[in-house]
Amino acid sequence: MKPSRLPVLVLIALSSAARVRGAEVVVRPERAVIVLPAEADAVKKTAAEELRQHFKLVTGADLPLIAQGDALDGRYPFRVGLPAPNDVQPLAPEEARWAVTAEATDLYGQDQGACGTQFAVYGFLEDQLGVRWIRPGDEGIGFQPRAELRLTVGRSSWAPHLEFRKIRPDVRPGRGQFICQDGALHRDAARPRGKGAEDGDPGPGERCVHSVLPVPAITSEMKKRRLPVGVSGISATKASSK
C-alpha cells in the first residue's frame, strides 16, 4: 500500500497562507479568511465585520467572510465566535478570549447579554497589531500599515472585575441608559424617564457595558446643598462664612 500524501499536501497548503518563525506566525492577508458560525448572532456578525474593517485599514486587504464548514482552500482562518479547540473552561460573564496558533486564530467570548466576542476582537487588534482608538471614526484609529500580519503565538483573555457596570453619561436618574442591540450600542428609549433608576435596574435589553460605577440618585437633602447657578464653590464658601 502506498503511503498517503494528504498530510504533506495539507502542510504545503498551510505554508502558502502562513509561516511560523519561532513563536511568530506570519500571515499573508490575501491568503486569509474570516470564519463565522453557520448561525451567527448579531454580536458575532458585528465582531467579524469590525475585524474585517480593521484588517482593511491596516493591510489594505478585504478579507472574505465565510461560514463554518465552508472550504478554506489553503487560507489562514480567523475564527470569530468559535471557541478554540480543547478550550473547555467556562466563560465568565462578558469574558473575551483569543488564541493564536499556526493553524488558526480564534476570537470568542461570552455573548449572552454581553458582547464578549467583540471585546475579543478589540483586544486582539490592540495586543497583536498595535491598533489604538484615539477618537471616533476611521481617522481616529491609530495603526501601522502592514503588508503582512505578524502574530505572536499564544492565548489571552479579559473579563471585567466590577460586578455592576453601566454607561451613565449624566447624573440625572432615569436617563442615559444604553443597551446592546444588534451588536451595537443604543439608547434605551423604552425605559420610563425618572422611574426605577434608584433600584439599580438599567432597563430591558442586553448590555454592552464598561467598567463605570453607577452614579447615586440625587436626594432632596443633596438638592438643598446645591450651589446657586453661576456661583463657584470657593465663592459660596466665602459668602457663607461672612
- Whole-structure pTM value: 0.63
CA-based nearest residue to 118, from 221, 3, 231, 208: 208
Q: CATH classification of 21-158, choosing from 3.40.50.1220, 1.10.3720.10, 3.30.379.10, 3.20.20.30? A: 3.30.379.10
pLDDT band at 76 (very low <50, low <70, confident <90, very high): very high
Question: Could you count the other beta carbons within 10 Å of the beta carbon of residue 219?
Answer: 10
E strand or H helix at 174, and its extent?
A: none
**Helix locations, 77-229, DSSP H:** 116-129, 220-224
Mean pLDDT of 92-106: 95
pLDDT for the residue numbered 21? 58
The residues spanned by each domain of the chain are 21-158, 160-217
CA-based nearest residue to 46, from 180, 138, 154, 234: 180
pLDDT for the residue numbered 4? 46
pLDDT digits (tens, 9 = 90+) for 12-63: 344 456 566 558 999 999 999 999 999 999 999 999 999 999 999 999 999 9
If you average pLDDT over every residue of the chain, what do you get?
74
Cα separation of 51 and 54, whole Å?
Answer: 5
pLDDT digits (tens, 9 = 90+) for 210-240: 333 344 444 555 444 444 444 333 333 344 4
Q: What is the DSSP letter of 97?
A: E
Cα separation of 118 and 134, whole Å?
Answer: 18
State whether residue 192 is helix, strand or coil. coil
Which is it for the CA torsion 110, 73, 71, 61, positive or negative? positive
CA-based nearest residue to 27, from 103, 125, 80, 121: 103
What's the CA angle centered on 203, arms 212 and 193, to 5 degrees?
A: 95
pLDDT for the residue numbered 50? 96
